[in-house]
Amino acid sequence: MASGFFAILDDIASLMDDVASASKIATQKTAGILGDDLAVNAEKATGFVSSRELPVLWSITKGALLNKIIIIPIVFLLQVYLPIAITIVLLLGGFYLAFEGVEKIIEFLFHKTHKEHTVASAPDKESALEAEKSKIKAAVSTDFILSIEIVIIALSSVIAEPLGVQIVTVLIVALLATVGIYGIVALIVRMDDAGFKLMKKSNDGSFTDKLGHLLVKALPVVIRILSIVGTIALILVSGGIFVHEIEYFHHWTEMYPSILIEVGLGLTAGLIALAVVTGGKKVVGAFKKD
């Protein structure tokens, strides 16, 4: 009896060692997209009233966790029974991310004045609530696409391991991609509150007082940087999907820097998607008028 018990403990310890090694490899391979995920979701999760920042982040985090719960079993099933479907889903997700990135660029270049005017006008409570729900939905939708990429990369890095190791490893990476990323985002968006608290509890001119002022002044700059990095990340992740999933484009990286190929493909896919969506809206609008 005792020997059987210790044998079970030995098996569990061996499994944990395998999981630790596999998780390290999977995390290294997904590090790039985890960084992109942080930049994109930090940009998506900012811009709310201070009192609503943490509740909104919690709503997005719950949506992101639900995304992983939906995606992980589906990816495992598709990997076994219909591998081609994973490629198709990734490519569709690539177009979606590219569309979001290009839409932001177009909005910044050609609709900046209108946007500033819209922001300047104070919305009523109902409009603010609708805008909040819309932004949460957009953040969760973007997280869904990025989560597919993260889960697939994590699974592909441990595909040769036993099924138990694969499942635990993917779960660890998925949890890191949710709790870790949104935990960091929460720290970022609360920088100003931390700064104000330091200023209230410190003497004027002291180190903590200066640190508080720095945190308050740094927040808008950090958010702006994250907005830019998030848009670039959308384009790069999209382009990276096309490069890795389409053999023809993969060969281009042997002749040109991969980052240029990814940016070019991301922008091209985004313009195509934007043209399709814009054209579709005009067609639907024309039918409604009739």
Identify which of 216, 261, 256 has the alpha carbon closest to the alpha carbon of residue 238: 261
Q: Highest mean pLDDT: which of 24-38, 104-118, 195-209, 256-270?
A: 256-270
6 is a domain residue: no
pLDDT digits (tens, 9 = 90+) for 182-215: 888 888 777 877 888 888 887 777 888 888 888 8
Secondary structure of the chain in HEC code, one letter for each residue: CHHHHHHHHHHHHHHHHHHHHHHHHHHHHHHHHHHHHHHHHHHHCCCCCHHHHHHHHHHHHHHHHHHHHHHHHHHHHHHHHCHHHHHHHHHHHHHHHHHHHHHHHHHHHHCHHHHHHHHHCCCCHHHHHHHHHHHHHHHHHHHHHHHHHHHHHHHHHCCCCCHHHHHHHHHHHHHHHHHHHHHHHHHHHCHHHHHHHHHHCCCCCCHHHHHHHHHHHHHHHHHHHHHHHHHHHHHHHHHHHHHHHCHHHHHHCCCCCHHHHHHHHHHHHHHHHHHHHHHHHHHHHHHHHC
13 is a domain residue: no
Structural domain harbouring 95 = 18-277
pLDDT of residue 275: 93
For residue 46, give the amino acid letter: T
283 is a domain residue: no
For the chain, the domain total comes to 1
11 is a domain residue: no
**Model's pTM, two decimal places?**
0.70
140 is a domain residue: yes
As a whole-number percent, the residues of the chain with pLDDT over 90 amount to: 11
8 is a domain residue: no
pLDDT digits (tens, 9 = 90+) for 23-57: 555 555 555 556 666 666 666 666 666 677 778 88
64 is a domain residue: yes
pLDDT digits (tens, 9 = 90+) for 141-193: 888 887 887 888 788 777 777 788 788 888 888 888 788 888 888 887 778 77
12 is a domain residue: no
pLDDT of residue 49: 65
